[in-house]
Every structure is written in C-alpha cells, then in structure tokens.
Amino acid sequence: MARQPAVALARPRALPALRGTWRRAALVTVFVLAGSGLLYLGARETPVFALRDVEVSGAPGKVRADVLASVAGLRGESLVSLDGEALVQRLEALPSVRSAAYDRAFPNTLRLTIEPERPVAVLVQDEGTWVVSVDGRVIGPEPATGAEALPRVRDRGEAVLHPGATIASPDILPVLTALSEAPTRMPLPIHSGRLEDEDLSFTLSGDGGTRPLLELGEPTDAGLKLRVAALVLRKMSLEERASLAYLDVSLPDRPVASSNSQPSG
C-alpha cells in the first residue's frame, strides 16, 4: 500500500502574543511597584499623616501620664514612618508599664493599649522603700499615700535599686509570687511576708493591731494555701479572729489555728 503523504501542520502563532502579554504584565508590575514606592516615600514626608493625637487605653492616671510624656516627642512625625518596634520597646522600658501595643489610626492618631505593672508589695530596704510588681520589677519609690494596703517585704540584700530595676533575690521572688496569688479580699489582710530557710510565712493585720502568724511552709501551692487560709478565717467568729495568734496551712487539708503564740504539739 502506498504511504500517504504527511499532512503539514501550521505552527501555532499564539506564542509571540503570549510573550507580548507577559512583557506588558511585567512592565505594568514594575510601574505599579515604582508608583507604590513613590507614594510611600511621599506619605513619609507629607504632613497629611503627621501624628497629632495620642489615645491611651488600659492605663490609670499616673501610668497614662508617663506614657504620654514618653511619646510626646513623636508629635508631628509621620505615622507612616513610625518605628513600631522601637515605640513598644520605649514604652515597655517605663517602670510602670508591663506591656504595650500600638495601632496607627490614620490620618493623624496613634492608639496605644497599655497593660500596667501590678504592684503587689512594698520592698523595705535600709536605704528606702520601693513599690514592686509580681515579677520583682521596681515600679517606683513608695509614695506618701496610696500604698498603705500593700504588704511589706523586708530586703536584707545590698543591691542598689531604682525604678525599672529587677529584683533577683531568691528569698524575695517566691514571696511576691505568693502575694500575687492571694485572694483579693482576705478576712484579715496580709501585713508582711518573708521566706526564711525555705519556709514561707506571713503576718496578718488582726483586729486591735494584732499580728497573727500565717504559716505556709514550703513555697509550693501558695495560692491554694492562701485560699484555704481565707476560708478558715471566714468560718471564724469575730471573737476567734480577735484572739487568733497562729494559723498553719502548710498542709492545706489539715489547717491548724491557735490562739497561742505557738501551736500545741
């Protein structure tokens, strides 16, 4: 049988068109990126986005004032060029600020969300007294008023403290941690605390100026032990609280209370 001649197929002519399309798309992309860059550079310099207003949420009066003072120098600068990471670092370096977050509210407003440090105790040194947070951060010197209700913790170390410093003493931090876990309302408020020879104890502000001793033993499960202590105190009558000298919750399931200065054997 004679072989049929092969049919000649026409070459596709779409390839040049596709190449042209890709070339145009690439050029458009380049122009868009270049235009975006020019717009960004223009936004950095234009006064349209200059910072005029700062809104602060989550911070009480004194902390809010510290935050506003820290960012006062940013007014008039462009929100576009604002270095957010540096801003957060600046704010969290304030002794009264635990954490900070920001949001650019264009065209002219900076919104700051602040979590303030929570004071848990007054640290007493020979050189002075300091309000400290649960992490051992020095918030500032004890004010003339407003810190009377905070428990007092004696620091016998020689470290020179200042606002923003962090206490690293292994005898202080467990006390602060326990205080942060205490019930908000203890029937007898905590007056002071200490850790000595791995034994955690507190003195309470009793009726008539008495100072009953609250013994927690090892500094483990401090929150549970303090909740048990609060429950025991609530079940006591006013007369029993007034005569209380000692409450031992080192074994939370077997608390011991006594009106004597030392528990009986």
103 pLDDT band (50/70/90 cuts)? very high
Length of the chain: 265
Distance of alpha carbon 69 from alpha carbon 45, whole angstroms:
24
Q: Which residue has the higher pLDDT, 160 or 72?
A: 72
Q: Which residue has the higher pLDDT, 265 or 202?
A: 202
Instruction: Quickly tell me which residue has 């034994």 as its tokens.
Output: 199
**Which tens digit of pLDDT belongs to each residue from 215-238?**
999 999 999 999 999 999 999 999
Instruction: Quickly tell me which residue has 């400290």 as its tokens.
Output: 132
pLDDT more than 70, % of the chain:
80
For residue 161, give both structure tokens. Answer: 């403290």
Q: Indicate whether 175 pLDDT > 70.
A: yes
Q: Which of 133, 229, 128, 225 is CA-nearest to residue 177?
A: 133
Q: Indicate whether 164 pLDDT > 70.
A: yes
- The count of other CB atoms within 10 Å of the CB of residue 104 is 15
Q: Indicate whether 58 pLDDT > 80.
A: yes
Mean predicted confidence (pLDDT) in 138-155: 95
Q: Which of 106, 107, 132, 130 is CA-nearest to residue 119?
A: 132
How many CA atoms lie less than 13 Å away from 68 in the CB half-sphere?
14
Beta-strand relationship, 97-105 and 199-204: unpaired
Residue-level pLDDT at 53? 97
Residue-level pLDDT at 214? 98
Phi, psi at 10, each rounded to 5°: -75, 135
- The count of other CB atoms within 10 Å of the CB of residue 180 is 15
43 pLDDT band (50/70/90 cuts)? very low
**Which tens digit of pLDDT belongs to each residue from 188-211?**
999 999 999 999 999 999 988 899
DSSP run (H or E) holding 174? helix 173-180
Mean pLDDT of the chain: 87
Q: Which pTM value belongs to this model?
A: 0.79
Is the separation of the CB atoms in 180 and 120 below 8 Å? Answer: yes
